[in-house]
Amino acid sequence: MASAATYTPIATQTLASNASSVSFTSIPQTYTDLVLVANVLGYYSVATYIGVGIQVGNGAIDTGTNYSSTMLSGDGSSAASSRATNAVSAGFWATALAADNGTRNTVVTHFLNYSNTTTYKTWLTRFNAQQTTNSTNIVGTTVNLWRNTAAINQISFGDFNGTNFYSGSTFTLYGIASA
Amino acid sequence: MATSTYNLIASTIVGSGGASSIVFGSGGTIPNTYTDLLIKLSGRATSGSQVNPSMTFNGSSSSYSWIGLYGTGGGGGSNNNGSTSSILLGIMDGSGDTASTFGSMDIYIPNYNSSNYKSVSVEAVAEANTATSYSYFVSGLWSNASAITSITLNPGSGNFAQYSIASLYGIKNS
């Protein structure tokens, strides 16, 4: 007997022009978990990595100080860990360049049990921020908490410092059903 | 109703003679009908201990870089190579490690058909019930605009041992 489909694309967005954030709304509540795959490059006046983040919500994106996260990261020479509490987003790092040379980096986020209405929501993010030979690179992972029991039906992936992701950056949301 | 777009493209099980490499899409035959690629590898090398496997695309041996983040159970560290001939795939057990232990890893490659540089995200572990075992995250970049049509996995030391398994999946975004 064929198994039911359990890894299903919900929506995908490819930036046609530079944009500071991308949002997914009206996320169906019919899956168990969500996976967001991003392939992005940010803008900054010098080559570096910039702080970006994820916000979620139910009916509207929550921009309050309701997020916390713990990061484990490596910059190519040493490992580090840091925390953020009462933050306005669940942050991590993305590569930024002054001009688009074709570099794109991978960010994969797993949202667990996103549609329940009993527990605070958690998600795991794996991020790459790498720009060929430049020395300002970083790789890492974060564990994140949204202190709200509401089901997640909106997700925003943004550069909340006000700069942009380059056009051609892609964002795809998948649903995973446990049964 | 949307349907699953996470499909097995190919799978290799290493036989009794071992294998010097595992190749997907030999001759450039990985289909271009997916958005992303995912490789799942359960592997062991026929020599060495806690070895460092690697990966190349399209037979190319240039324009790769990577950053690693690892934990050993006794501490953490980070390493990198800004210009090299392959992408590090973290860690894998070798013949010098506990018998019957195999490293596990996921290798995610988004937008493998795009005209942008190719980014790779690797998660790998080699647990052997010894004083030092590794978990590894790797960010890899192939600074090449070509579509990926073949992938070669190298064991890092000796050959891939018998019972090593690598599977290539294709994921569509629509």
Q: From CA B108, how far away is CA A132, in angstroms rounded?
A: 18
Collect all residues of chain B within an 8 Å Cβ-Cβ radius of residue A75.
67, 78
Which residue, chain included where needed, has tokens 């001009």? A99
Q: What's residue B130's pLDDT?
A: 87
Backbone angles phi, psi at B146, to 5 degrees: -70, 150
Q: From CA B61, how far away is CA B64, in angstroms rounded?
A: 8
Locate A106 and state its tokens: 């991978």
Question: Which residue of A137, A141, A171 is the best one to mutate when testing the B interface, meaning the one whose CB has the most B CBs within 10 A?
Answer: A137
- The DSSP symbol for A3 reads P
Q: Which residue of A has its CA nearest to B118?
A: A104
Roughly how many angstroms between the first and final C-alpha of chain B, as a whole number? Answer: 12
Collect all residues of chain A within an 8 Å Cβ-Cβ radius of residue B140.
128, 130
Contact B78, B67 (CB under 8 A): yes
More confident residue, A48 or B112: B112
Handedness of CA A44, A46, A47, A48 (dihedral sign): negative
In this structure, the strands spanning A42-43 and A90-97 are: parallel
Contact B124, B111 (CB under 8 A): no
Give all domains of chain A, ordered by start, each with its CATH number: 11-176 (2.60.120)
Q: What's residue A132's pLDDT?
A: 78
- List, edge to edge, every strand of the sheet that includes A154-158: A21-24, A154-158, A48-57, A90-97, A42-43
Q: What's residue A3's pLDDT?
A: 54
Q: From CA B151, how far away is CA A119, in angstroms rounded?
A: 42
- List, edge to edge, every strand of the sheet that includes B151-154: B22-24, B151-154, B54-57, B87-88
Q: What is the ipTM of this complex?
A: 0.93
**Closest Cβ–Cβ partner in B2, B137, B171 for A139:** B137
- The DSSP symbol for B148 reads P
Residue B92, exposed/middle/buried by CB under 10 A (0-12, 13-18, 19+)?
buried
**Closest Cβ–Cβ partner in B78, B80, B174 for A9:** B174
Q: Which residue of B has its CA nearest to A73?
A: B69
Q: What's residue A178's pLDDT?
A: 83
> Is A10 near chain B, with CB under 8 Å?
yes
Which residue, chain included where needed, has tokens 């010097």? B20
Domain B9-171: top CATH class: mainly beta
Contact map slice: A 65-104 vs B, CB within 8 A: 72-79, 101-104
Question: Which residue of A6, A30, A39 is the best one to mutate when testing the B interface, meaning the one whose CB has the most B CBs within 10 A?
Answer: A39
| pTM assigned to the model | 0.95
B113-124 pLDDT, tens digit per residue, is 999 999 999 999
A69-114 pLDDT, tens digit per residue, is 999 999 999 999 999 999 999 999 999 999 999 999 999 999 999 9
**Position A1 confidence tier, pLDDT thresholds 50, 70, 90:** very low
* Residue B162: partners with Cβ closer than 8 Å, 6 or more residues away: B14, B15, B16, B17, B18
Question: Which residue of B70, B84, B111 is the best one to mutate when testing the A interface, meaning the one whose CB has the most A CBs within 10 A?
Answer: B111
